[in-house]
Amino acid sequence: QKEVEQNSGPLSVPEGAIASLNCTYSDRGSQSFFWYRQYSGKSPELIMFIYSNGDKEDGRFTAQLNKASQYVSLLIRDSQPSDSATYLCAVNPLKTSYDKVIFGPGTSLSVIP
Amino acid sequence: SQTIHQWPATLVQPVGSPLSLECTVEGTSNPNLYWYRQAAGRGLQLLFYSVGIGQISSEVPQNLSASRPQDRQFILSSKKLLLSDSGFYLCAWSEGVSGNTIYFGEGSWLTVV
């Protein structure tokens, strides 16, 4: 069983629309959740992290966490062509003394002008 | 502020040749350090992590090795490369406290021919 799952996509949305990216995880005790953006050929860069149930907003990005459902999502409002990238969900189960963050396979997002 | 650099950015190596990728972190002390690999169209695979000088843990058996000769220096090596070693190699760091965010270097593209 995969530990962190994401729809591989590609997810296509028109410019200005809301893009919704979803992620589920298997370890119910997980405590830290991250979203990274990775442009083609580049390294992942952190967009947001979330620790508590509910929503966390940062500009056009909103992360949503539901620990009971083991579900975390990322909403991108007013999507721009520059948002076209692969989005990686990452989960830290905190079972060890180091940050063994587990990454999902990523969802490819394409924003159509 | 903290920065991470890895090099070389790109390399093409023949099968059976050695490999050395280097990574350094600035602006922090005693970071956790990581080497990840991302094969074409695949997710991130954790190869090695280190919580201190000389402390290396391997996640996946392979012909690669890692060393941490100094607090903020992490090296990925191989004595004899295989075709399957081709991929995008990412060095990363996090603060030495569980639950903190992982930050990636620029990445190194390795093509084994």
Average pLDDT over residues B80-104: 87
Q: Å from A47 to nearest chain B CA?
A: 11
Q: Indicate yes or no: CB of B101 within 8 angstroms of CB of A97.
A: no
Q: What is the pLDDT of residue A28?
A: 87
Q: What is the pLDDT of residue B99?
A: 55
User: A1 and chain B: CB distance < 8 Å anywhere?
Assistant: no
Q: Å from A113 to nearest chain B CA?
A: 25
In whole angstroms, give the CA distance from residue B21 to residue B12: 12
Residue of B nearest to A5 (CA): B43
Which of B32, B101, B107 is opposite residue A98, by nearest beta carbon?
A: B32
Q: Which residues of A touch B109 (CB under 8 A)?
A: 41
Q: Which residues of A touch B7 (CB under 8 A)?
A: none
More confident of the two residues B68 and B99: B68
Q: Indicate yes or no: CB of B100 within 8 angstroms of CB of A31.
A: no
Q: Indicate yes or no: CB of A105 within 8 angstroms of CB of B105.
A: no
Q: What is the pLDDT of residue A96?
A: 57
Q: Indicate yes or no: CB of B99 within 8 angstroms of CB of A32.
A: yes
In whole angstroms, give the CA distance from residue B82 to residue B87: 11
In whole angstroms, give the CA distance from residue B9 to residue B90: 10
Which of B42, B99, B107 is opposite residue A99, by nearest beta carbon?
A: B99
**Length of chain B as a residue count:** 113
In whole angstroms, give the CA distance from residue A66 to residue B79: 46
Q: How many CA atoms lie within 13 A of A113 on its CB side?
A: 2
- Evaluate the CA torsion angle A67, A72, A76, A82 in order and state its sign: positive
* pLDDT per position as a tens digit, B33-72: 999 999 877 789 899 999 899 999 888 867 999 999 999 9
